[in-house]
């Protein structure tokens, strides 16, 4: 008899096999039931992968999506209702069939003995029968599911759907996930709603805006603080904006909505409207690192006591400022803070700045110095602190030294030092009829300082006394030299800023004129305070005359006019460096012999002649290009230049037979050019003039080399072929120290004439457009 409530054999191994057989039976029953659902879902997925929903309006898309959900729900409900789970007996029968077992030893293992119950022999026989029937454990097996879709899908439509889905995955590529998501959110449905979004990096970064298109495959890297701007057009109501864990709505009305979001951290942003995802982006912020700054050389001092600071600063978007801090070492006192010149928003700054702190009370004291660089958002980086003795002005007058010492004591700003300084000032003004008979202004100033300190109540009052003591010490020691030097530094800073910022040439010319006047006053003050006597020049010293300084200023002006303002700024920095280290010496030193002066004048005349010959060659070339054949005016001009060269040759013969073979060749070529111009042979004259220029340059170079050799032997400087400015040849045309190329006057004149000609042609708007565009590009280079 069979007991339906029994679970069968108690063997765990057999129970596991029965459970597996029931799972196989379940798959054979449920998979055919899921086929209609799988067919509908596959078709929907294929449409999404091929982008079909992107062409649908929101209404049609919503209808299709609703129909898909309804169809899936209906089919699942009807098909699953007709299917039941396999029972234990059904699993046992499958296991018996698949294992080839006879007499149902598993499914009938729960049968009970009906006849012979209570008979010992019958029960033993029944137990033996059951034991023998269960000796099949080693042969149990379950077969795989049978072909189950053929009956529900006789035309193999499922394979066609699978093939289309596979093709859709290949077609969609990396965007397959996004397209499937759009099918459920209708992000692909454009309808009448559109979105524009872009990133505006902070202005100080100098980076261009980034327009956002589609859905990026990876987070977009943007500078921290970038502004995300979103504009939605044609939306029925305000779209929603989600950024990270926060949600809000776009502002606006009448179908136009907008919003801005500052990107301050890594986050994802999504815009939705009417159930659609209009756009989604992930952003990764690029942090703005603080600037870095180091000393490129230890802080030092110039020959005239100015503080010299060389530094190198860098920042990922631009250094906006550099400040220097000077604080007394090991004693009280506030730090002195001042700005150093830096180019505007430069990522890399390498500069040397000068600052005269010799009039500050800390001058001559041990101080701690460090520099601090800042960027556009206020981040700061600083150098290591360097200890040095702050440059101080050397006072030779005992009274001036005493006043400077008392001024340093006042810098501590406490009542004890103030009282001591007051007593010292009172003592210094004893017996004015004896010590200040010829200097009443000094006595009056000292008494004024005494009473000002006596009645001081605030820190500003003590600072006033410090300034008064300094002015008295300076007036005693050296008059206006310090003021002249400070004026030069101020004008140099203004000139650098004007050259860098592209100021009008009239402004630069005015500043250069003021600089030249201040330089004259400085040299005059330097001469008045000159006390070196007849001390010899140090080894390797270079001698500068006032004309050399004037030539440098003229070269700076010519470079700025010709458009090369970067080189003009370099030359200005070099001139200031020379001035900072300038010493006054006797006029007889470094001037050379009278013959050297005459030769120098001759070389300068040759430089001028080269410029004029170049100008004549330009005129000849323009006439040749314009088709003009009248060369008589040019022939007359060529004759004048030939006469000038003849005078130069006569001067050279008078100077003990100076070498002039190249110049003689130049004179011969000038004569040939003059004759060809008379006969209107402009092409032949052009070739002769080119040979003339080459010969003039070779002759001038030879004379310059000879002059340098003679001066080098006289001065014993040990620097061959260099004039006092460090140039290798000629009055102009060598390499000024620090790698600054000093162009010749002819080169400057040539550049100036080219610039004027380009401007003239650019104003002639009747020229072809291609030619005018080319001229504009050339003018931008200048």
On whether both 115 and 204 belong to a single domain, the answer is no
On whether both 725 and 655 belong to a single domain, the answer is yes
On whether both 281 and 298 belong to a single domain, the answer is no
Per-residue model confidence (pLDDT) at position 706: 76
- Percentage, residues of the chain above pLDDT 70: 69
**Is 419 among the domain residues?**
no
Cα 112 to Cα 108: distance, rounded to the nearest angstrom: 9
On whether both 276 and 335 belong to a single domain, the answer is no
On whether both 125 and 250 belong to a single domain, the answer is no
Nearest to 586 by CA among 523, 532, 539: 532
Number of domains in the chain: 4
On whether both 282 and 301 belong to a single domain, the answer is no
Residue 378's alpha-carbon distances to 321, 322, 342, 671, in angstroms, are: 10, 12, 16, 69
**Is 436 among the domain residues?**
no
**Is 518 among the domain residues?**
no
Q: Inform me whether the pLDDT recorded for 303 exceeds 50.
A: yes
- 297-304 contact pairs (CB < 8 A, 24+): 298/386, 298/388, 299/369, 299/386, 299/388, 301/391, 302/354, 302/391, 302/580, 302/581, 303/580, 303/581, 303/582, 303/583, 304/356, 304/485, 304/580, 304/581, 304/582
Q: Could you tell me the pTM of the whole model?
A: 0.42
pLDDT tens digits for range 200-242: 998 888 888 888 876 677 888 999 989 999 888 877 678 888 8
CATH of the domain at 249: 2.60.40
Q: Which of 228, 262, 286 is the last residue of a domain?
A: 286
On whether both 55 and 83 belong to a single domain, the answer is yes
Per-residue model confidence (pLDDT) at position 3: 36
On whether both 353 and 377 belong to a single domain, the answer is yes
**Is 454 among the domain residues?**
no
Q: Which of 122-131, 474-483, 501-510, 532-541 has the lowest mean pLDDT?
A: 532-541
Chain mean pLDDT for the chain: 75
On whether both 711 and 620 belong to a single domain, the answer is yes
On whether both 300 and 281 belong to a single domain, the answer is no
Parent domain of 204: 192-286
Residue 192: pLDDT band (50, 70, 90) is: low
Work out whether strand 220-223 and strand 276-286 pair parallel, antiparallel, or are unpaired. Answer: parallel
**Is 704 among the domain residues?**
yes
CATH of the domain at 306: 2.60.40.10
**Is 720 among the domain residues?**
yes
Q: Which of 268, 286, 304 is the last residue of a domain?
A: 286
| Better-predicted residue by pLDDT, 453 or 596 | 453
Q: Which of 154, 169, 184 is the last residue of a domain?
A: 169
Q: Inform me whether the pLDDT recorded for 322 exceeds 70.
A: yes
Nearest to 383 by CA among 391, 392, 372, 397: 372
On whether both 629 and 715 belong to a single domain, the answer is yes
CATH of the domain at 631: 1.20.120
On whether both 53 and 71 belong to a single domain, the answer is yes
pLDDT tens digits for range 12-68: 777 777 777 777 766 666 666 667 777 777 788 877 777 777 667 667 777 777 788
| 508 C-beta neighbours (distance < 10 Å), count | 21
**Is 242 among the domain residues?**
yes
**Is 317 among the domain residues?**
yes
Residue 233 three-state SS: strand
């Amino acid at each position: 008899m069979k007991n339906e409530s029994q679970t069968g054999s108690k063997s765990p191994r057999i129970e596991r096999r029965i459970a597996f057989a029931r799972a196989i039976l379940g798959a054979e029953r449920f998979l055919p039931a899921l086929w209609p659902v799988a067919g509908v879902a596959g078709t929907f997925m294929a449409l999404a992968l091929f982008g079909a929903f992107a062409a649908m309006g929101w209404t049609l898309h919503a209808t299709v999506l609703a129909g898909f959900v309804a169809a899936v729900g209906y089919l699942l409900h009807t098909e699953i209702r007709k299917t039941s789970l396999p029972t234990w007996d059904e699993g046992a029968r499958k296991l018996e069939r698949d294992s080839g077992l006879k007499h149902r030893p598993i499914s009938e293992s729960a049968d009970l003995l009906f006849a012979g119950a209570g008979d010992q022999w019958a029960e033993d026989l029944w137990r033996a029968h059951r034991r023998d029937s269960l000796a099949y454990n080693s042969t149990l097996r379950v077969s795989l599911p049978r072909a189950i879709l053929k009956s529900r899908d006789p035309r193999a439509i499922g394979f066609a759907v699978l093939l289309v889905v596979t093709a859709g995955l290949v077609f969609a590529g990396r965007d397959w996930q996004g397209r499937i998501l759009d099918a459920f959110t209708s992000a692909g449905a454009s309808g009448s709603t559109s979105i524009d979004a872009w990133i505006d990096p902070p202005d100080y970064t100098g980076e261009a805006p980034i327009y956002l298109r589609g859905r990026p495959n990876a987070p977009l890297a943007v500078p921290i603080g970038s502004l995300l701007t979103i504009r939605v057009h044609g939306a029925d109501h305000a779209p929603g904006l989600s950024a990270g864990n926060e949600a809000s709505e776009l502002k606006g009305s009448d179908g136009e909505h907008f919003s801005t979001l500052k990107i301050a951290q890594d986050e994802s942003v999504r815009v939705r409207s009417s159930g659609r995802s209009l756009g989604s982006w992930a952003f990764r912020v690029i942090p703005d690192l603080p600037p870095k700054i180091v000393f490129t050389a230890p802080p030092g001092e110039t020959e005239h006591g100015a503080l010299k600071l060389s530094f190198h600063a860098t920042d990922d978007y631009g250094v906006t400022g550099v400040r220097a801090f000077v604080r007394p070492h090991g004693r009280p006192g506030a730090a002195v803070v001042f700005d150093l010149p830096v180019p505007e928003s430069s990522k890399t700054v390498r500069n040397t700045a000068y600052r005269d702190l010799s009039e500050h009370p800390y001058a001559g004291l041990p101080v701690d110095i460090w520099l601090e660089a800042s960027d556009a958002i206020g981040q700061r980086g600083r150098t290591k602190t360097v200890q040095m003795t702050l440059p101080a002005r050397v006072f030779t007058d005992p009274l001036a030294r005493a006043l400077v010492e008392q001024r340093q004591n006042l810098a501590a700003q406490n009542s004890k030092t103030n009282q001591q300084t007051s007593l010292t000032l009172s003592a210094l003004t004893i017996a004015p009829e004896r010590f200040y008979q010829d200097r009443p202004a000094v006595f009056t100033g000292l008494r004024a300082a005494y009473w000002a300190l006596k009645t001081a109540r605030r820190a500003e009052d003590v600072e006033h006394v410090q300034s008064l003591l300094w002015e008295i010490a300076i007036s005693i020691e050296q008059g206006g030299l310090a003021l002249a030097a400070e004026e030069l530094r101020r004008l140099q800073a203004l000139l650098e800023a004007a050259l860098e910022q592209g100021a009008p040439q009239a402004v630069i010319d005015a500043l250069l004129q003021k600089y030249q006047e201040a330089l004259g006053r400085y040299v005059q003050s330097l001469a008045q305070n000159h006390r070196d006597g007849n001390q010899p020049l140090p080894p390797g010293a270079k001698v500068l005359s006032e004309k050399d300084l004037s030539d440098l200023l003229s070269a700076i002006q010519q470079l700025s006019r010709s458009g090369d303002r970067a080189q003009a700024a370099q030359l200005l920095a070099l001139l200031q460096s020379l001035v900072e280290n300038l010493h006054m010496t006797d006029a007889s030193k470094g001037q050379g012999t009278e013959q050297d002066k005459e030769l120098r004048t001759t070389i300068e005349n040759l430089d001028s002649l080269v410029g004029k010959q170049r100008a004549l060659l330009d005129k000849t070339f323009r006439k040749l290009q314009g088709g003009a054949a009248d060369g008589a005016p040019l022939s007359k001009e060529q004759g004048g230049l030939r006469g000038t060269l003849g005078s130069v040759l006569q001067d050279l013969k008078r100077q003990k037979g100076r070498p002039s073979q190249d110049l003689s060749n130049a004179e011969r070529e000038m004569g040939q050019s003059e004759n060809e111009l008379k006969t209107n042979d402009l092409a032949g004259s052009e070739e002769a003039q080119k040979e003339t220029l080459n010969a003039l340059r070779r002759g001038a170079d030879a004379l310059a080399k000879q002059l340098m050799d003679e001066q080098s032997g006289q001065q014993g400087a040990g620097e061959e072929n260099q004039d006092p400015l460090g140039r290798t040849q000629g009055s102009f045309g060598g390499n000024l120290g620090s790698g600054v190329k000093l162009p010749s006057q002819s080169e400057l004149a040539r550049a100036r004439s080219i610039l004027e000609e380009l401007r003239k042609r650019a104003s002639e708007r009747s020229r072809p457009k291609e030619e005018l565009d080319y001229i504009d590009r050339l003018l931008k280079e200048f």
